[in-house]
Amino acid sequence: MQNIFDNEIFFDGYSKIHERKDNANELFVKPALFSLLPSLTGLSVIDLGCGFGEHCMEYVRKGAAKVVGIDISEKMLAVAKTKNNHPKITYLHMPMEEISCIKEKFDVVVSSLAIHYVEDYQTVVHGVHELLNDGGVFVFSQVHPMNTSFSSGDRWTRDENGRKLHANIANYGVEKEWESTWIVDHVKKYHRMFSTIINTLINNDFTIEKIVEPIPTADFLQMHPEYDDLLHKPDFLLVKTKKG
């Protein structure tokens, strides 16, 4: 189980990106993720790959009665316990592949940008099903499979002026582990086809309620023209499901 976030160089680099308010997570993933959540008033929530714990604090502000955040990174949890501590929040040092060890039940399971680091997706989905009360909601975001399918060569085909014409997609049908350079070398992610992502949920008794692939609006691009390449392909996939 990869724990790249406890690599000192990676952690420092990621923290700097995280502090920027114009990062893609803040602009696209977080708003979409929270739009998919039910009213949290009085509910219990578990966050898989909770990172710095900022989402956990937001769940409390939105009325959650109890929040559990788990993460494989001790460095991330140390920040969470310092900056996002609250009597209603419990943080656990644990990879999400081991959530079957948790014997409590929850109303909502959330995971943001962590599923693509998991090799055994089936085990995690089954574990989420066991964590949820009947009718409970599972919402997650991940890197879009159009991105995880491409692991080498030039990401874009460009014109003579360097303008991006279209994204290059290769080996989409080959589900695999692949390594990329992001802050450091050898960051492992896992590519699964869209059908695998969805059918694994269906086969584990989840009903698909909504799918979101965030792309910028025309008004958004007036402020952030650097994100116009998302019109060629979305970078992220978000899924809302219900148990049963």
For the entire predicted model, the pTM comes to 0.93
What distances in angstroms separate CA 181 from CA 35, 97, 120, 143, 157, one per listed residue?
A: 31, 24, 22, 15, 20
3-state secondary structure of 101: helix
Number of domains comprising the chain: 1
Q: For residue 151, what pLDDT is reported?
A: 63
* 94 confidence band (pLDDT: 50, 70, 90): very high
CATH number where 198 lies = 3.40.50.150
Q: Give pLDDT tens digits for 43-52.
A: 999 999 999 9
Helix 121-131 / helix 194-203 crossing angle, nearest 10 deg: 40
Q: Give pLDDT tens digits for 122-169.
A: 999 999 999 999 999 999 999 999 988 876 678 899 999 999 999 988
Q: Give pLDDT tens digits for 174-220.
A: 999 987 777 777 788 899 999 999 999 999 999 999 999 999 999 99
Domain extent for 116: 4-243
